Amino acid sequence: MNTSTTIESGPWAGWRTWPEDKFESGTGPFYMKRDEAGRVVCRFIAEPRHMNGGGFMHGGCFMTFADFACFAIAEEQTEGPSVTVNLSGDFLSAAKVGDTMEATGEITRAGGRLIYVRGLITANEKPALSFTSVITRLSKRP
């Protein structure tokens, strides 16, 4: 089971992450919390290790953060193990070292088994990736 942890001190105090997820911990870590309006916000700071050979953020880094964000956004609906069925991203503009990467989004539909999410990643508040995802619960919701 994937359990989140709240960071207790430092610049990310109050944000949560999934520490048991080795790929996310190694790529990120990425952080999530609910803002005052109850909206899920995900964030990390772009570093040199996130860049491609051209010096801009790698598409795979964008998609990893998007996948993280989809589960963060869908979290209150997944209620147990769930996996990605489809993940799609439209690359709107580039991101570079030092940019504050932020993902927000919404559940467009939570059915008995499938959960649909869409969202937007910004780099220093400029739209950078538009993403959609379909997630499936591994067991149907009671």
Region binding a second copy by CB under 8 A among candidate stretches 7-15, 20-28, 33-41: 20-28
Among 5, 14, 23, 100, binds a second copy (CB under 8 A): 23
Report whether 83 contacts 33 (CB < 8 A).
no
Q: Give the per-residue contact string, 86-105, with a second copy (x = CB under 8 A; - = no).
A: xxxxxxxxx-----------
Separation of alpha carbons 25 and 2, rounded Å: 13
Return the structure tokens found at 67: 């996948």
Contacts of residue 42, defined as CB under 8 A and 6 or more positions apart, other chains included, come to 30, 31, 32, 65, 68, 69, 72, 102, 103, 104
H/E stretch holding 93 reads none
Q: How many residues bind a second copy (CB under 8 A)?
A: 56
Task: Take residue 83 and report the two structure tokens written for it.
Answer: 């996996």
Q: Which is nearer to a second copy, 3 or 9 (CB)?
A: 3
**Which of the residues 29 through 68 are near a second copy (CB under 8 A)?**
48-54, 56-61, 63-68
Of 85, 100, 124, 141, the one binding a second copy by CB under 8 A = 85
Q: Are 46 and 57 in contact (CB under 8 A)?
A: yes
State the residues that interact with a second copy by CB under 8 A. Answer: 1-3, 18, 20-24, 26-27, 48-54, 56-61, 63-68, 81, 83-94, 108-109, 111, 113-114, 116, 118, 120, 127, 130, 132, 134, 136
